Structures are given as structure tokens and as C-alpha cells.
């Protein structure tokens, strides 16, 4: 099975629970389990090739311009993590089916879980660091949904926000580090990067890249000082905690360090940063775990400690330490998932996770007791379980360090002591002791569905401990080989003779048992001593950040548009002036063009119109007229500079805009009140003048110089006919070269019209409706609302305008025109009917709803774009050909016409829907006094027939 398909199967599985949940919880769980099982089987099929040193890859071109390819690989490391993610995921799916209450929306839970599983599979199977980053951020988002699944719990919401904030910030840093790494290696493909160790470590950018990448790994794997988010993620349902802590989220950082180990390790920077961070995390997590009363909190901090253990081993930089790290990843996943599911069983049956309220469960829950005890002993590193072997290997590597050996030995042994203590506490304080009579709920062993998963994991704990080489040796060898880049043949055994590692292990076991015996006294000291609460510190930090951002924002802008625009304008002018003054600007190379009388007159008219606009802007109607004049002069300028398409577009837009704004101004005061002081207006005038002069000077300087780069205009002119089949370069750009932008624009245009319509619906209801009916106009109206001359002229012009619109539409690919201009022309023709004959008369004759017209336009454009896929071309790639029909000359047809039709329909629909909204407001306003007489009585049309 293709690695790409293996990575995508969980995402496919995420679609099923929401669709099948009405068939029952069992169907939803089975659908997720089936997708996971198929992916797992597909992964296991690659074992023979990987064990022979092979790597299974597949790649699809995505964005080759930036080096992003959908590349996937399965090697030993990907195989290890894939088995953990899919294998334990299968157990979690089964466990969650019986754990979650019937009140919990199971379909939503399984959807989130499968999204999370897919994101993790994407990380471990990615062969491109940019693709890995995409999945990396997706794990943060999907884990946010899972941790906050119980939205009614404040702790769940806060834990989700904390996890997203911390891991998201680390992810941002990692993005920068990965980009630097790819630039150093000259490729973003992981396979290429792993071969560039010398170039990477010799680069001056090695250390910045290392720091940024490790920030991402440390935040994701909860390393000190970012460890605090993980225990708060325990507010999630126990299936989530078991999955997140054992095989997925927190293992992503370890995977990243292991994946990049061949190129980043082996330097003093790597050793001291990674190993000391892991050592501190291992000790701190174990120490805090010992004093936690909540079962899941104890296990969460123990996870932090064990993640630190693996991080420390990877930091040592030796192949033997990498082997030990890989083996402990396997062992930790087995016993930690079993322990979390055990804690979930206890909570599910006893209705509490507080250790202080438990004890004596051995007799009431014998199966749960057996599972939890074996898993906890493995976590403590007790022989002959698998945790003992990897703990011994860790202590052995610590004993053979070249740097700071004694310090690492003491701290590692102390951390192992605390690990033994909290593991034994899990057993003794929860399961042993007398049976109590004050449990919140009488506990008993659950059904098979809840304990079968942890029982299977515990059987692996025992089997790997007794037969390590047979059960896990092959997987450790394959994954360690992928980590180190060299063939590894680990010797996994329970007994390695009497050595310092065994002595340290014995000290840890004895010390842990002693700590448990002295636990009451130790707990009293812990409670009496100061210990900072990470949650409080995090909340304070977030609060201070928000306060600082608010103060900065208020210092720049007070929330008003003028001040915000002033800040933006001044910043733009400053940046432009700084860039111009510090850059290398060549000499003037282009001569001035001779001045002609007509352009000078147009320029003077433009200056006068804009000056009058500033002077008389409070008179809204006059201001609108001046805006139209400015637009008309700009249109003339376009025509003068041989841009008829732009001139037509500008004129059409001006007409439509002026008409719609006139209708809108009907409901607004005709004058704007003075709202600013003379000083403020003077300041605004200065800023505006500065910006205008600055940008004008920049435009002048740019037009007087030649530059080394070629304009993209040349490419457009040369290829518009060859690739787009059109001589009208502007139209080819809109419907082909940048068709995707145009598609987005017409979609937004349609959405804007629909929003206006929706706002109108709101305006015509409730209190606003009553205010409209009581509204009194502030000006006199003309007596003849529908002048006969205007009615006659518009009805005669309608068919002519429609023919002109169709003509402009059909010629647009080779001559000035196109769907946008044609749509505006047709919209103007319809606008004239509404204004001349009234809203009611026009609506009675409307046959196509404007909502449907917008939708049809978007669909037409989309279908045209999708059609390119059937020819193996990118979305919205156009094609053209020449055809001959009887009695007609040969003519050209281009698929872009379908796209242009979509533009046409969207423009007409959006303009008319906006007009429709304004007309409905006008009909509603002022009661019957202002009603349109054409809407309330039957009249005779120009033929003498009754018009209804």
C-alpha cells in the first residue's frame, strides 16, 4: 500500500462517524476501527522490505516553485511510530466506545480522534519538511479539539487553549528553523537533508536552525520549561489522554529529534541543550508526579519525566543511546497507555480519580488491579518487565558518558528513584489496603470492552520483558538504523551482568520503596514548601501579553478610522522613505514625454474635482457627483493611454456605483456634521499631503528609470493568444492567467450581495421596521415619480442595451469587453427599468431570482475550471479551438467563455440583488405615504394593455 494512502486513510475515516452516527455508536466505532485497521495492515505489509534496509517512498508534485511536494516515506522510524499510532489507536477506538457516556456526542469525538490520528501519521510518514510542518500544525489544532471535547468543563477549555498556545508558538519557531534547514541543505526533501550533515553543521546558520527546531520539539513533547501544558491536557476524556500521552502528540517532538538526529546531533550544542533539557525534565516530572493526588495528574507528570528520559538519550548523540531511546519509546507506549486506560476504568467505576478517596480496589476490581499493577511495575523499571530493560540501558549510557558523567549519574538515579516511588504509590494507594465504605460509587470490574485493550498492552509488557529480541528486537533495529543512518543490531536482554547500571537501578528501587514508606512525612514537607503553579503563571503571562497588546493598540489608535488610517499612512510613508534612502537607486534613464494640451486640461480637471471633493465632502450629494466626475476623468485617462477595457469597466462601475449610492443616500442625512476640530483637520491634511507627495514622487522616480528585471507584461503580451486563445490580454489575464483570483472575487461579490440582502431582511423586522415606517423624509420630492419620457426611453433602450451587452460579452476574448463589462452594461439596463417604471413593475416581470443568478454564476465558473482536470491540466486552465458551421465563416470558441459567463451572471445578480434590497427598504419606509404607486394599482402600459 502506498505510504500516501496509509497517511490519508485516517482522514477518510474521519468522514465516516459523522455520517454513520445515526446508525449507532457501534457503527461509528467500527467505521473508525476499520479505517485504522486497513492503514495498519497496509503499513505492516512493508515490514519485509524495511527489515532488509529498504525505504518505501511515494511523491506527488504540489507546489514545486517553493519546494513543497506531497512526499511520503516509510522507513524503520516511520514504521515504529506508525505501528504505535495505528495499533494503540485501534485499542483507543474500542476503549472509547465503552468509556464515553451516552450523553457524549460520539460521532464528533471519533471525527476529532481520526483527524488527530491522520495528522500524526502525516508527521511520521512525511518525506518533505514543509509537508511535515502542515501536519505538525494540524496536530495542534486537532488536539485542541480533543482536549476541549468536554466544552462544559472550564478545565477542559483552558487546557485546550494552553496546549494550543504553547505548541502553536513552538510550531511557529519550528517553521523558521525548518526553512533555514532546507535552505542550508538546498532541498526540503527529508531524504536529501539527511545526506547533508557536513554542510548543515558547517553552516553559520546551524545554531539558529537548531534552536528554532528544538523549540518546536520541546514544546510539543512537554520539555522543561514548556512541560506545564501537558498535565492540564488531562482534562480531556481518558481515551484522549491515553492516546496523547502514549503514542501521539507528545511523541511528535521525540520523533522530530530522532528524524533529524543524523544531521543535528554530534555537536556540543546538541549535547548540552538536548541532554540537559531532558535530564531536568526527567527529574522535575518524576518529583512532581510523586505528590499528585489525581490519578491522571500523576500519570501526566510521569509522562513528562519519561519524555525527558528519551530526550536525554537522544541528546547523548551516540548510536547506543539512540537504540536505548527507541526501545524506551516502545516500552513507554505500552505501559503508559495501559496505565491511563486503567485510571479511566477506576474513574469510570468509582466516579473519582482522587487517590485520597481510593484504596482497597484489589478485591473489588481484580482484573483492573492485575493490569494496573503490571503496567506500574514496568513503569518503575522492575524485572522482568520491558520497562526494566530500557531503564537499565538508559543508566548504562549515563554511566558511559564522556561529559559530566557524575552529575548525570546522580540526577538520573534520583529521577529513577522518584519514578519507582510514584509507580509504587499508584499500586499501593489505589489497589491495596482495606476496602472502604465511602467510595463515591461502588466500584467493580467493567465489561470486556474496556479492559481488553489495556490487557493486550500489558501482555506485550510481559512478553517484551521476557523475550525482548524476539518481540521487539527487529523493530528496534529497523528504527534505530533509520535514526542513526547506520545499521544497528541491538542486544536486548534482562541480564547484562553486575555493573554500575544495575547498582544504580537497585539504589532507585530501594530509594523508591523507602520514599513510599516515608510518604506522609514527605507529603507534609511538600505541602508546607513553596511550589509555583504553572497554570497561574501561564494565566498571568497571557494576561500581561493581552494587556500589553491592548495598551500598544490604544496608543496607536483609539478605535476610530481616521487615527488608524493616519498611523498606517505614516508608517507606509516612513518605510518607503527609508527603503528609498538606503537602497541603491540608479540614475534617471528615461526622458520626459512632451506635454500636450488635452492631458494637461484633464489633469487640471482632476485636480479641481478632487480639491472640490475635499472642500465640499460634507454635502453628500455633491460629493457623489464629484466622485463620478473623478471616475469619468480617470476613464478618459485609460482611453488616452490605450486601455479601452479599463475605460469601459471604469465608466460602467461609475454608473452603477452612483445609482446605488444615490438610492442609499435616500435614507441618510444630506449633510455630514462637523465632527473634528480645525487642528485635527490640519493634521489630517498634512498627513494626506505628505503621503500624496511621497507616493507621487515615488511613481515619478520609478517611471523615469529602467530596471534590471523584465516586466511581466511582456510575458502576458507574448503568450495571451498562444496559451489563452485571445488577443485581448486583459480578458485573458482575468479568465486564464489569474482566473483563480477572479473566481475568488466573483464569489466574494456574490457573498457581499447576499449579506446585503440578509441585512435588509433584519432591517425590515422588529424595532428597525417600525422606525422605517415612521420615518419622515427631510426633503421635498418631485411630483412625477415616473416621468413618461423616461419610461418610454428606457423601455426602448432595454433591448438595445441587452444586445450591446451580449455583443460586448461575445467579443471580450479578442476585443475590449468581457463578462464583467457586459454584466455591468446589462445591470445598467435593468437599473434603468427599476428607476423609470418602479420597483413593483420591474419585479412583476422578473423571471429569474437574483440569488439563483449568483449561484449559477459561481457554479458555471467552477465547472469551467474543473473541466480542465479531465484533460490533466491545472484548475481553470482554458483551451480553445476553431470551428466551421454551414453558412458561417470559421470562428473561434474558448472554454474561457464559460468562465466569463459565470462572471457575467455574478455581476448582474449581485448588482440587482443590492438594488432589490434598497428598493425593498424604500417600499417599507414611510408607510403608504411613500409607497410606489406603480406597486399598488394597475396601470396601462404603452400599448394600452393592463400591466399587473
Lowest model confidence (mean pLDDT) among 265-269, 671-675, 693-697, 829-833: 671-675
Distances (CA, A) of 641 to 437, 814, 924: 93, 19, 46
Cell of 583: 537602497
Q: Which residues contact 565 (CB under 8 A, 6 or more apart)?
A: none
**What's the pLDDT score for residue 920?**
74
53-57 long-range Cβ contacts below 8 angstroms, 24+ apart = 53/481, 53/487, 55/191, 56/3, 57/3, 57/127, 57/191
554 Cβ partners below 8 Å, 6+ apart? none
Contact 453, 391 (CB under 8 A): no
Please list the residues that pair with 126 across neighbouring strands: 72
Give the per-residue pLDDT at 784. 64
How many CA atoms lie less than 13 Å away from 584 in the CB half-sphere?
Answer: 2
Q: How confident is the model at residue 772 (pLDDT cuts 50, 70, 90)?
A: low
Q: How many CB atoms sit inside 10 A of residue 572's CB?
A: 13
Say how far apart CA 20 and CA 244 lie, in whole Å.
25
pLDDT at 521: 86
At residue 228, the pLDDT reads 82
Q: Which residues, 6 or more positions from 179, have their beta carbon under 8 angstroms from its beta carbon?
A: none
- For residue 271, what are the CA distances in angstroms to 261, 265, 615, 667? 11, 7, 70, 72
pLDDT greater at residue 939 or residue 111: 111
Across 804-831, average pLDDT: 87
Dihedral sign from CA coordinates of 533, 535, 537, 540: negative
What cell does 486 get? Answer: 547506520
- Least confident range of 568-572, 901-905, 923-927, 928-932: 928-932
> Which residue, 723, 704, 491, 432, is CA-closest to 588?
704
User: Cell numbers 505501528 correspond to what residue?
Assistant: 83
User: Poorest-confidence range of 97-111, 164-178, 193-207, 908-922?
Assistant: 908-922
> For residue 936, is pLDDT > 80?
no
Grid coordinates standing for 31? 467505521
921 or 187, higher pLDDT: 187
How far is Cα 918 from Cα 939, in angstroms, rounded to an integer? 24
Q: Which of 217, 182, 43, 188 is nearest to 125 (CA)?
A: 43
Average pLDDT over the chain, rounded to an integer:
85
**438's grid cell:** 465511602
State the Rg of the chain over Cα.
36
- Judge whether residue 935 has pLDDT over 50: no
The grid coordinates of residue 104 equal 457524549
Evaluate if residue 515 carries a pLDDT over 50: yes
Q: Residue ranges of the domains in the chain?
A: 265-517, 597-670, 727-948
List the beta strands (DSSP E) in 15-105.
56-63, 68-74
Does residue 456 or residue 53 have the better pLDDT? 456
Residue 894 DSSP label: E
Coil, strand or helix at 819: helix
Beta bridge partners of 881: 893
If one counts every other C-beta atom within 10 angstroms of the C-beta of residue 427, the result is 19
> What mean pLDDT do residues 576-603 have?
84
Under the banding of pLDDT at 50, 70 and 90, the label for residue 779 is low
pLDDT attached to residue 782? 59
Site of grid cell 493486550: 456
Q: Which residues pair with 204 in a beta bridge?
A: none
3-state secondary structure of 893: strand
- Residue 462 pLDDT > 90: yes
Using one digit for the tens of pLDDT, what is the confidence trace for 843-872? 777 777 888 888 899 999 888 888 888 887
496 or 691: whose pLDDT is higher?
A: 691
The pLDDT of residue 944 is: 37
Q: What is the pLDDT of residue 942?
A: 34
Whether the pLDDT of residue 339 is over 60: the answer is: yes
| pLDDT tens, position by position, 587-597 | 888 888 888 88
Q: How far apart are CA 494 and CA 467, in angstroms?
A: 9
Q: What is the mean pLDDT of residues 413-442?
A: 89
pLDDT higher than threshold 50 for residue 945: no
For residue 723, the tally of other CB atoms under 10 A from its CB is 17
0.75 cut: is pTM over it? Answer: no
DSSP 45: T
Count the Cβ atoms, other than its own, within 10 Å of residue 666: 15
Picking from 21-25, 194-198, 673-677, which range would have the lowest pLDDT averaged per residue?
Answer: 673-677
Check if the beta carbon of residue 76 is closer than 8 Å to that of residue 482. Answer: yes
Which residues partner with 671 through β-bridges? 619
Show the CA angle centred on residue 644, arms to residues 643 and 645, nearest 5°. 95
Question: Residue 777's pLDDT is what?
Answer: 63
Average of pLDDT values for 788-800?
85
Res 930: pLDDT: 41
User: Which tens digit of pLDDT belongs to each residue from 340-383?
Assistant: 999 999 988 888 888 888 888 888 899 999 999 999 999 998 98
Check residues 892 and 380 and name the one with the higher pLDDT. 380
| 341: its cell numbers | 486506560
Give the pairing type, strands 891-894 and 946-947. Answer: unpaired
**Rounded Cα–Cα distance for residues 56 and 125 (Å):** 10
**740/745 Cα distance (integer angstroms):** 9
Q: Is 843 exposed, middle or buried (0-12, 13-18, 19+ CB in 10 A)?
A: middle
Using the predicted structure, report yes or no on whether residue 610 has a pLDDT greater than 50: yes
Say which residues have a Cβ less than 8 Å from residue 540's Cβ, sequence separation at least 6: none
pLDDT for the residue numbered 837: 81
Strand 56-63 with 68-74, pairing = antiparallel
- % of the chain surpassing 90 pLDDT: 26
| Helix count and strand count (H, E) for the chain | 43, 6
- pLDDT category of residue 100 using cuts at 50, 70 and 90: confident
Amino acid at each position: 500500500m502506498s505510504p500516501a494512502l496509509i497517511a490519508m486513510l485516517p482522514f477518510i475515516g474521519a468522514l465516516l462517524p459523522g455520517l454513520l452516527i445515526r446508525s449507532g455508536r457501534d457503527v461509528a466505532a467500527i467505521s473508525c476501527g476499520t479505517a485504522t485497521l486497513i492503514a495498519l495492515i497496509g503499513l505492516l505489509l512493508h515490514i519485509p522490505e524495511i527489515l532488509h534496509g529498504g525505504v518505501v517512498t511515494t511523491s506527488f508534485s504540489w507546489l514545486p516553485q517553493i519546494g513543497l511536494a506531497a512526499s511520503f516515506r516509510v522507513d524503520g522510524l516511520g514504521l515504529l511510530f506508525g505501528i504505535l499510532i495505528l495499533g494503540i489507536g485501534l485499542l483507543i477506538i474500542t476503549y472509547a466506545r465503552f468509556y464515553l457516556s451516552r450523553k457524549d456526542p460520539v460521532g464528533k469525538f471519533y471525527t476529532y480522534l481520526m483527524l488527530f490520528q491522520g495528522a500524526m501519521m502525516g508527521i511520521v510518514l512525511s518525506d518533505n519538511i514543509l509537508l511535515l510542518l502542515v501536519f505538525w500544525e494540524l496536530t495542534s489544532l486537532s488536539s485542541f479539539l480533543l482536549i476541549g471535547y468536554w466544552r462544559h468543563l472550564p478545565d477542559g477549555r483552558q487546557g485546550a487553549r494552553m496546549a494550543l498556545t504553547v505548541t502553536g508558538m513552538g510550531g511557529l519557531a519550528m517553521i523558521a528553523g525548518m526553512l533555514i534547514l532546507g535552505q542550508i541543505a538546498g532541498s526540503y526533501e527529508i531524504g536529501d537533508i539527511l545526506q547533508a550533515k557536513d554542510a548543515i553543521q558547517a553552516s553559520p546558520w546551524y545554531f539558529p536552525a537548531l534552536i528554532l527546531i528544538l523549540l518546536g520539539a520541546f514544546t510539543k513533547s512537554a520539555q522543561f520549561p514548556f512541560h506545564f501544558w501537558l498535565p492540564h491536557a488531562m482534562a480531556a476524556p481518558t481515551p484522549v489522554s491515553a492516546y496523547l500521552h502514549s503514542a501521539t502528540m507528545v511523541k511528535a517532538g521525540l520523533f522530530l529529534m530522532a528524524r533529524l538526529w543524523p544531521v543535528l546531533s554530534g555537536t556540543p550544542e546538541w549535547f548540552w541543550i538536548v541532554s540537559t533539557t531532558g535530564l531536568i525534565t526527567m527529574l522535575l516530572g518524576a518529583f512532581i508526579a510523586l505528590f499528585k493526588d489525581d490519578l491522571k495528574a500523576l500519570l501526566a507528570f510521569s509522562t513528562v519525566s519519561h519524555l525527558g528520559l528519551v530526550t536525554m538519550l537522544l541528546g547523548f548523540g551516540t548510536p547506543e543511546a539512540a537504540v536505548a531511546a527507541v526501545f524506551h519509546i516502545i516500552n513507554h507506549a505500552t505501559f503508559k497507555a495501559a496505565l491511563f486506560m486503567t485510571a479511566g476504568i477506576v474513574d469510570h467505576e468509582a466516579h473519582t480519580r482522587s487517590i485520597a478517596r481510593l484504596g482497597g480496589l484489589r478485591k473489588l476490581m481484580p482484573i483492573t488491579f492485575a493490569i494496573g499493577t503490571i503496567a506500574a511495575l514496568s513503569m518503575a523499571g522492575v524485572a522482568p518487565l520491558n520497562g526494566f530493560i530500557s531503564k537499565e540501558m538508559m543508566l548504562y549510557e549515563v554511566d558511559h558518558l564522556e561529559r559530566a558523567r557524575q552529575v548525570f549519574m546522580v540526577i538520573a538515579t534520583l529521577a529513577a528513584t522518584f519514578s519507582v516511588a510514584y509507580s509504587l504509590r499508584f499500586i499501593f494507594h489505589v489497589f491495596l489496603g482495606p476496602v472502604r465504605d465511602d467510595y463515591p460509587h461502588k466500584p467493580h470490574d467493567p465489561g470486556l470492552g474496556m479492559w481488553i485493550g489495556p490487557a493486550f498492552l500489558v501482555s506485550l509488557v510481559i512478553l517484551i520483558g521476557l523475550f525482548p529480541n524476539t518481540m521487539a528486537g527487529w523493530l528496534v533495529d529497523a528504527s534505530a538504523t533509520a535514526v542513526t543512518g547506520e545499521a544497528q543490531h541491538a542486544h536486548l536482554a534482562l541480564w547484562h551482568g553486575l555493573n554500575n547500571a544495575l547498582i544504580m537501578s537497585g539504589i532507585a528501587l530501594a530509594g523508591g520503596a523507602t520514599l513510599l514508606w516515608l510518604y506522609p512525612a514527605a507529603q507534609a514537607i511538600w505541602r508546607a514548601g513553596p511550589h509555583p503553579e504553572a497554570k497561574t503563571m501561564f494565566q498571568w503571562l497571557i494576561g500581561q501579553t493581552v494587556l500589553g497588546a491592548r495598551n500598544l493598540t490604544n496608543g496607536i489608535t483609539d478605535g476610530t478610522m481616521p487615527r488608524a488610517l493616519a498611523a498606517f499612512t505614516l508608517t507606509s510613508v516612513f518605510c518607503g522613505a527609508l527603503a528609498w534612502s538606503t537602497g541603491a537607486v540608479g540614475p534617471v534613464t528615461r526622458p520626459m514625454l512632451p506635454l500636450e494640451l488635452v492631458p494637461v486640461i484633464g489633469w487640471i480637471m482632476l485636480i479641481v474635482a478632487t480639491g472640490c471633493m475635499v472642500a465640499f465632502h460634507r454635502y453628500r450629494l455633491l460629493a457623489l457627483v464629484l466622485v463620478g466626475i473623478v471616475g469619468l476623468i480617470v476613464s478618459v485617462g485609460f482611453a488616452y493611454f490605450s486601455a479601452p477595457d479599463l475605460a469601459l469597466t471604469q465608466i460602467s462601475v461609475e454608473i452603477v456605483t452612483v445609482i446605488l449610492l444615490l438610492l442609499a443616500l435616500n435614507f441618510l442625512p444630506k449633510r455630514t456634521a462637523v465632527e473634528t476640530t480645525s487642528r485635527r483637520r490640519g493634521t489630517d491634511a498634512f498627513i494626506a499631503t505628505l503621503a500624496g507627495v511621497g507616493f507621487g514622487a515615488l511613481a515619478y522616480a520609478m517611471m523615469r528609470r529602467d530596471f534590471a528585471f523584465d516586466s511581466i507584461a511582456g510575458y502576458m503580451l507574448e503568450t495571451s493568444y498562444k496559451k489563452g486563445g485571445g488577443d485581448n490580454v486583459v480578458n485573458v489575464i482575468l479568465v486564464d492567467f489569474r482566473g483563480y483570483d477572479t473566481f475568488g472575487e466573483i464569489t466574494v461579490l456574490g457573498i457581499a450581495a447576499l449579506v446585503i440582502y440578509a441585512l435588509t431582511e433584519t432591517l425590515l423586522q422588529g424595532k428597525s421596521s417600525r422606525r422605517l415606517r415612521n420615518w419622515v423624509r427631510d426633503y421635498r420630492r418631485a411630483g412625477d415619480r415616473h416621468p413618461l419620457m423616461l419610461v418610454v426611453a428606457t423601455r426602448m433602450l432595454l433591448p438595445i442595451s441587452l444586445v450591446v451587452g451580449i455583443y460586448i460579452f461575445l467579443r471580450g476574448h479578442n476585443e475590449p469587453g468581457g463578462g464583467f463589462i457586459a454584466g455591468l452594461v446589462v445591470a445598467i439596463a435593468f437599473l434603468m427599468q427599476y428607476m423609470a417604471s418602479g420597483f413593483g413593475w420591474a419585479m412583476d416581470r422578473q423571471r429569474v431570482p437574483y440569488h439563483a443568478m449568483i449561484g449559477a454564476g459561481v457554479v458555471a465558473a467552477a465547472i469551467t475550471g474543473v473541466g480542465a482536470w479531465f484533460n490533466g491540466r491545472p484548475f481553470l486552465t482554458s483551451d480553445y479551438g476553431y470551428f466551421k458551421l454551414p453558412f458561417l465563416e470559421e470562428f473561434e470558441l474558448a472554454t474561457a467563455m464559460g468562465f466569463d459567463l459565470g462572471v457575467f451572471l455574478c455581476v448582474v445578480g449581485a448588482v440587482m440583488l443590492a438594488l432589490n434590497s434598497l428598493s425593498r427598504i424604500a417600499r417599507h419606509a414611510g408607510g403608504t405615504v411613500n409607497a410606489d404607486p406603480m406597486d399598488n394599482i394597475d396601470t396601462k402600459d404603452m400599448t394600452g394593455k393592463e400591466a399587473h
